[in-house]
């Protein structure tokens, strides 16, 4: 079965500085892979390269077997790729509803999808006509995730989605993402520093250090300790 | 007194019609389209040709919109798009375009001043003062344009995509919006609006190859202090247009022409991001 | 066959004692041009001479546009206004007061004085902390429009829309006018060339490349730009003075917006940033317009318009810029010859007494600093102090406010509340260039250097605040404080002093920026993620440099870092920021094992069992 996402020896960087050094990674269909690592190691840059916001200097990105390395960012959505960025992820001045609408390529079926959003994050649908900037931090993150899920993507890239969130919200997110994977077979690449969240959710993990994948494996009882070794202060 | 008030309102309306297209381009693409003046000229000459062919005057703005829009879209595709990362150079390139268009118009139509008859002539009695009907009609036109535009921006999917691109182009692209196409359409619409303005103001002033230039600076300053917001543009046109009329009437017409430029420059110094949030 | 390239190169390296190198380089071309100017009137016909005299004065105005736009990065449409000021000062003066030596002097004084005042005012309006290049262009656009309207409303005093004509003016023969105009252009070219090649001239290029970096090197860029505007305004006014002195007619078109944009077109076509391009562009367009305006009036302007658009889109360097690039590609030696980085440079160390090894005065005091954006609070109640000889690492997850804290220390206008003192002085609401003067040096996260300047020039610009650079010469000696020199030599930059900064590797750019900041001789050093993108070897080198700076020079170093291994190795102290507050502050040994750090970074106090969801 073709992988939902395949990275083959991907290399990129900014100006004269190489940030991603020949990364190879796979996310199988319906699989959840956790990408863990300390700050500044290049995880966000990796996601940006996958989306072509950062041009790849070498290597390939494949979605469902199709080479999309040089495809313009806006075309990737149509291929079933959804992205929840870490920073500047919402249009603060647009309403919650308009932000959600932008998760779809047109408005057909929007109302029907709202029902799903209501199941996952009722607090969002309660605030449908409010400006997104007036939502609390946790609600904004939920909105970002909801917007990504509304289009029923085949692959969902999440960048530090639990940052700055209370435990209760984190748990809710974990539940929703697990449910979506179970019911829809959505594959996910979850970039995180919050280990307990991501290890409870993921099937596999990959440790990212200085632009490279230094360790990878299935999530099991010993994973946390193994990852801890790499992240140790 | 009534005449003065009506002068202010109609001047504001004319300024609004002339500036709206420029605002659209500035908001989405963050550049000033110096060729705006020549699209006003294109619109005026389109109206001239249309009247020579016997087309009913009410259709002239629509035809002007099409002509201006198509030429504008072509200009975006060929010239402006290449300068995406160099905004000051993009501004210069649009100035070069305006020279080119101006010369082509001159070559095609000659330098003489021409006249287009007003579709609606005569005066209307407002509070016992007679006032030019056509000027009053322009106030209606300004509201129609503002209304259509707001509907387009807030009521359509394209409008939503455009608002998204205005606020955060990268995020918009990440959500699947083809921002290049949005820019193309926006530039075309902006130029089309300029052409409509040209078609609408021909009965008031004469038509010559350089007519757009005198409007350019004022429109440009109004757009910059409006910070990309259409309602603020309307307000700016009213306030500054009003001050211009007052200065022209009570001080001198020549200095009145400076009012907008000077006041706007000072206002921008005090508040560089414009007054959209005020 | 002797290598022409090296022959030219060694010729160009010659220097006559006492004369700036730049002057020697242009000596031969200048003498040739001067000869042409003297001889010209005997060869050319009257009609051509007439056109050329006007064109030459216009060329001077075009030169001012090139200096402002091509060299310092400000697109200006307003130089025509100053041309007009000079023109009308002469015309009004001679119309009102007649012609004579006193009247001429007065008119000249009026031209220069008025131009200086207007330029100063316009500069003050356009250049202020936080101004954008677009606003400066906007103001430059409005200026000629305002001036022309004033001329229109001036009645018979200014001649209104018809201008002024019929006044008696200087009685020089056409040939001598040509020599005067030609000589003026030549003199302006040579002086501009020398000044722009000098150490002071480099600062302009630095400001154009990276205005922020200049500010953080202690240079008041607004003031430099205003001073430059005044000088350029006066020169343009003198050009207008000469133009109307010759032509005998002053018209509003000489001061207007259209003329102002024509100057920009001339510079763009000739090649912005090349000086000679402005002159050639002006001469070609003026002469061609004169000849073609009768036969092909509109087509000529159309051709210019199309050429202009093509140049902007495809050949931004214009004629001379493209020539330079093409010839440089063909012969690398020629590139160095045509480039501005020319004189070989030698390093020297500034003598400074080393500070006492136990100096540990408090140099950074942060007192309840907060930063809000509307209702969003990025920093609240941050307080700490730091001493000489301390290496404090500031750590924390993304969004904790680390970079904002650095900004609040380096820029007095940034914080919302609280107080900051650097070396005992409160920073109040001072701008960054003033805070540099208190002893603060800031190094940015993305290596912030001057891309088109050579390594040596970057370092020289960094010394601007401490030693006023010469306006005439480019010094062959680069004197640096010991710490900066150490970085330059240990990183390998010493072998690349004449290489343009944009060709350096990432690690070398970081080293260059560090050396530039050290050249300020700061007492407090702020580093924002300095090891990002460095190789392991580079990181080790960097760690060694930092520890040395702290121990020997008694610097206080505040460093934002994510690499906790690096932090543990080199810091004496760690401050942990979390959600805008100081969560931990203490010696490395104490903090390193604190469970709070682990919890904040990884979200757990101990590893969780997989598969168990709460």
pLDDT of residue A163: 77
For residues A166 and C527, the model is more confident at C527
Residue B19 phi/psi, 5-degree rounding, is -90, -20
Q: Could you read off the pLDDT of C250-288 as tens digits, one per residue? A: 999 999 988 999 999 999 999 998 899 999 999 999 999
Assess whether pLDDT exceeds 60 at residue A133: yes
DSSP E strands, A30-135: 32-36, 56-63, 66-67, 81-84
Question: Which token pair is B275?
Answer: 């007054």
pLDDT of residue A232: 62
**For residue C261, which residues of chain B lie inside 8 Å, CB to CB?**
95
B70-74, B135-139, C225-229, range with the lowest pLDDT: B135-139
Q: Could you read off the pLDDT of C132-164 as tens digits, one per residue? A: 888 898 899 889 989 998 898 888 888 888 888
Exposed (0-12), middle (13-18) or buried (19+): which is A92, by Cβ within 10 Å? middle
CA B176 from centroid of its chain's CA atoms: 30
CA distance B121 to chain C (A): 32
Residue A75 phi/psi, 5-degree rounding, is -80, -15
Residue B201 binned pLDDT confidence (cut-offs 50, 70, 90): confident
> Which residue in A has a C-alpha nearest to residue C612's C-alpha?
A200
| CATH value of A5-86+153-231 in 3.40.50.300, 3.40.50.620, 3.30.70.20, 3.40.47.10 | 3.40.50.300
C-alpha–C-alpha distance, residues C268 and B65, integer Å: 33
pLDDT of residue C600: 67
Which residues in A have their CB inside 8 Å of a CB on B?
51, 53, 72-78, 83, 85, 88-94, 98, 101-103, 105-107, 147
Q: What is the DSSP letter of A214?
A: E
Domain spanning C362-467+480-602 has what CATH number?
Answer: 3.40.50.300
C-alpha–C-alpha distance, residues C395 and A128, integer Å: 37
**For residue C298, which residues of chain B lie inside 8 Å, CB to CB?**
103, 106-107
pLDDT of residue C9: 44
Residue B164 binned pLDDT confidence (cut-offs 50, 70, 90): very high
C-alpha–C-alpha distance, residues B236 and B233, integer Å: 5
Question: Which token pair is B111?
Answer: 């330098």
Q: What is the DSSP letter of C68?
A: I
Q: Could you read off the pLDDT of C588-607 as tens digits, one per residue? A: 888 877 777 767 665 443 33
Question: Which run of H or of E encompasses C417?
Answer: strand C417-422
The full 3-state SS of chain B, as one line of letters, equals CHHHHHHHHHHHHHHHHHHHHHHHHHHHHCCCCCCHHHHHHHHHHHHHHHHHCCCCHHHHHHHHHHHHHHHHHHHHHHCHHHHCCCHHHHHHHHHHHHHHHHHHHHHHHCCCCECCCCCCCCEEEECCEEEEHHHHHHHHHHHHHHHHHHHHHHHCHHHHHHHHHHHCHHHHHHCCCCHHHHHHHHHHHHHHHHHHHHHHHCCCCCECCCCCHHHHHHHHHHHHHHCCCHHHHHHHHHHHHHHHHHHHHHCCHHHHCCHHHHHHHHHHHHCCCCCCCC
Compare CB distances from C313 to B83, B252, B257 and report the shortest one's residue. Answer: B83
**For residue B92, which residues of chain C lie inside 8 Å, CB to CB?**
75, 264, 268, 308, 312
CATH topology of domain C19-338: ABC transporter involved in vitamin B12 uptake, BtuC (1.10.3470)
C-alpha–C-alpha distance, residues A226 and A230, integer Å: 7
Question: Which run of H or of E encompasses C98?
Answer: none
Percent residues over pLDDT 90 in chain B:
39
Q: Which of B212-216, B226-230, C304-308 has the highest mean pLDDT?
A: C304-308
**Mean model confidence pLDDT for chain B:** 87
Residue C19 binned pLDDT confidence (cut-offs 50, 70, 90): low
pLDDT of residue C553: 85
**For residue A160, which residues of chain C lie inside 8 Å, CB to CB?**
398
pTM of the model: 0.84
Question: Which run of H or of E encompasses A19?
Answer: strand A17-27
List the beta bridge partners of residue C64.
none
For residues C389 and C613, the model is more confident at C389
**Angle made by CA atoms B18, B22, B24, in degrees to the nearest 5:** 120
Strand pairing report for C362-373 and C376-387: antiparallel
- Break chain C into its structural domains and give their ranges: 19-338, 362-467+480-602
CB count in 10 Å sphere of residue C371: 21
3-state secondary structure of C142: helix
Q: What is the ipTM of this complex?
A: 0.88
C-alpha–C-alpha distance, residues A205 and A223, integer Å: 8
- The mean per-residue pLDDT over the stretch A102-125 comes to 88
pLDDT of residue C605: 39
Q: What is the DSSP letter of C69?
A: I
The full 3-state SS of C287-333, as one line of letters, equals HHHHHHHHHCHHHHHHHHHHHHHHHHHHCCCHHHHHHHHHHHHHCHH
pLDDT of residue C340: 47
pLDDT of residue C614: 36
Exposed (0-12), middle (13-18) or buried (19+): which is C72, by Cβ within 10 Å? buried
Assess whether pLDDT exceeds 70 at residue B256: yes
C-alpha–C-alpha distance, residues C312 and A109, integer Å: 46
DSSP E strands, C423-475: 425-426, 440-443
Tell whether B272 lies on the interface with C, counting CB pairs under 8 A: yes
C-alpha–C-alpha distance, residues B259 and B243, integer Å: 7
Assess whether pLDDT exceeds 90 at residue C178: yes
Tell whether C337 lies on the interface with B, counting CB pairs under 8 A: no
């Amino acid at each position: 079965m073709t992988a939902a996402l395949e990275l083959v020896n991907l290399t990129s960087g900014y100006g004269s500085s190489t940030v991603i050094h020949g990364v190879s990674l796979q996310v199988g269909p319906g699989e959840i892979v956790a990408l863990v690592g300390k700050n500044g190691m290049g995880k966000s840059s990796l996601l940006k390269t996958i989306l072509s916001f950062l041009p790849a200097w070498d290597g390939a990105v494949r979605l469902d077997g199709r080479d999309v390395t040089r495809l313009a960012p806006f075309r990737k959505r149509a291929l079933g790729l959804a992205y929840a960025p870490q920073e500047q992820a919402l249009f603060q001045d647009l309403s919650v509803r308009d932000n959600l609408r932008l998760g779809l390529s047109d408005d057909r079926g929007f109302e029907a999808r709202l029902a799903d959003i209501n199941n996952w994050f009722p607090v969002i649908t309660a605030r449908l006509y409010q400006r997104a900037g007036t939502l609390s931090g946790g609600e904004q993150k939920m909105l970002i995730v909801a917007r990504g899920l509304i289009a029923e993507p085949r692959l969902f890239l999440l960048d530090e989605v639990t940052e700055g969130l209370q435990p209760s919200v984190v748990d809710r997110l974990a539940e929703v993402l697990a449910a979506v994977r179970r019911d829809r077979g959505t594959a996910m690449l979850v970039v995180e520093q919050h280990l307990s969240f991501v290890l409870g959710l993921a099937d596999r993990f990959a440790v990212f250090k200085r632009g490279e994948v230094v360790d990878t494996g299935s999530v099991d009882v010993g994973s946390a300790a193994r990852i801890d070794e790499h992240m140790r202060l | 007194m009534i005449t003065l008030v009506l002068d202010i309102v109609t001047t504001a309306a004319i300024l609004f019609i002339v500036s709206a297209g420029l605002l659209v381009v500035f908001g989405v693409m963050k550049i000033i389209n110096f060729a705006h003046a020549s699209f006003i000229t294109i619109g005026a000459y389109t109206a001239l040709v249309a009247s020579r062919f016997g087309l009913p005057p009410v259709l002239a703005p629509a035809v002007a919109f099409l002509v201006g829009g198509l030429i504008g879209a072509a200009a975006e595709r060929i010239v402006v798009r290449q300068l995406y990362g160099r905004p000051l150079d993009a501004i210069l390139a649009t100035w070069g375009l305006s020279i080119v268009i101006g010369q082509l118009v001159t070559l095609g139509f000659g330098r003489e001043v021409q006249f287009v008859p007003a579709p609606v002539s005569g005066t209307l009695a407002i509070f016992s003062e007679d006032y030019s009907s056509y000027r009053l009609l322009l106030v209606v036109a300004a509201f129609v344009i503002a209304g259509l535009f707001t509907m387009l921006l807030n009521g359509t999917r394209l409008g939503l995509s455009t608002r998204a691109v205005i606020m955060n182009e990268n995020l918009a692209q990440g959500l699947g919006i083809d921002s290049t196409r949005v820019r193309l359409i926006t530039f075309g619409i902006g130029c089309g609006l300029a052409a409509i303005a040209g078609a609408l103001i021909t009965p008031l002033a004469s038509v010559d190859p350089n007519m757009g230039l005198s409007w350019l600076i004022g429109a440009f300053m109004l757009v910059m202090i409006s910070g990309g917001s259409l309602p603020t543009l309307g307000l700016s046109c009213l306030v500054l247009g009003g001050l211009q009329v007052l200065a022209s009437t009570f001080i001198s017409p020549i200095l009145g022409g400076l009012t907008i430029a000077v006041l706007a420059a000072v206002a921008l110094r005090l508040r560089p991001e414009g007054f959209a949030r005020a | 066959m002797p290598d022409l390239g090296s022959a030219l190169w060694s010729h160009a390296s010659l220097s006559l004692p006492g004369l700036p190198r730049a002057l020697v380089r242009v000596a031969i071309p200048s003498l040739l041009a001067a000869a042409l100017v003297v001889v010209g009137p005997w060869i050319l016909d009257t009609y051509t001479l007439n056109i050329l005299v006007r064109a030459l004065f216009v060329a001077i105005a075009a030169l001012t546009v090139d200096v402002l736009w091509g060299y310092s990065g400000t697109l200006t449409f307003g130089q025509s206004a100053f041309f007009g000021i000079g023109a009308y000062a002469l015309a009004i003066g001679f119309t009102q007061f007649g012609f004579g030596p006193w009247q001429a002097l007065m008119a000249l004084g009026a031209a220069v004085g008025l131009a200086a005042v207007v330029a100063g005012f316009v500069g003050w309006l356009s250049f202020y902390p936080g101004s954008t290049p677009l606003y400066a262009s906007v103001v430059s656009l409005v200026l000629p429009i305002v001036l022309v309207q004033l001329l229109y409303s001036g009645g018979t005093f200014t001649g209104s829309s018809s201008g002024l004509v019929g006044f008696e003016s200087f009685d020089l023969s056409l040939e001598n006018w040509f020599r005067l105009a030609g000589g003026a252009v030549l003199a302006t070219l040579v002086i501009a060339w020398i000044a722009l090649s000098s150490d002071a001239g480099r600062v302009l290029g630095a400001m154009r490349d990276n205005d922020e970096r200049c500010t953080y090197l202690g240079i008041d860029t607004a003031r430099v730009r205003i001073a430059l505007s005044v000088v350029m305004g006066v020169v343009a006014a003198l050009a207008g003075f000469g133009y109307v002195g010759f032509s005998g007619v002053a018209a509003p078109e000489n001061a207007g917006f259209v003329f102002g944009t024509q100057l920009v077109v001339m510079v763009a076509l000739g090649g912005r940033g090349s000086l000679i391009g402005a002159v050639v562009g002006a001469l070609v367009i003026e002469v061609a317009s004169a000849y073609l305006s009768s036969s092909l009036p509109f087509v000529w302007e159309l051709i210019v318009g199309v050429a202009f658009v093509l140049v902007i889109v495809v050949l931004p360097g214009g004629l001379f810029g493209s020539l330079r690039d093409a010839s440089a590609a063909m012969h690398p030696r020629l590139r160095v010859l045509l480039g501005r980085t020319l004189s070989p440079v030698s390093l020297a160390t500034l003598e400074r007494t080393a500070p006492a090894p136990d100096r540990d005065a408090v140099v950074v005091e942060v007192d309840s600093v907060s930063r809000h954006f509307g209702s969003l609070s990025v920093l609240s109640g941050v307080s700490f102090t730091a001493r000489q000889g301390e290496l404090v690492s500031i750590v924390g997850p993304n969004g904790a406010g680390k970079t904002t804290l650095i900004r609040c220390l380096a820029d007095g206008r940034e914080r919302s509340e609280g107080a900051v003192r650097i070396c005992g002085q409160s920073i109040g609401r001072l701008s960054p260039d003033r805070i540099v003067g208190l002893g603060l040096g800031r190094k940015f996260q993305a290596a912030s250097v001057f891309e088109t300047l050579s390594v040596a020039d970057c370092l020289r610009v960094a010394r601007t605040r401490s030693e006023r650079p010469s306006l005439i010469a480019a010094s062959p000696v680069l004197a640096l404080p010991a710490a900066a020199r150490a970085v330059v030599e240990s990183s390998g930059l010493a072998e690349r002093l004449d290489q343009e900064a944009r060709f350096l590797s990432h690690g070398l750019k970081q080293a260059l920026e560090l050396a530039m900041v050290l050249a300020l001789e700061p007492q407090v050093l702020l580093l924002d993620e300095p090891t990002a993108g460095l190789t392991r070897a580079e990181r080790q080198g960097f760690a060694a440099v930092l520890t040395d700076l702290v121990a020997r020079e008694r610097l206080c170093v505040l460093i934002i870092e994510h690499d906790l291994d690096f932090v543990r190795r080199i810091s004496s102290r760690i401050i942990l920021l979390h959600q805008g507050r100081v969560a931990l502050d203490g010696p490395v040994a104490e903090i390193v094992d604190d469970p709070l750090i682990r919890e904040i970074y990884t979200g757990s106090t101990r590893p969780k069992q997989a598969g168990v969801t709460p």
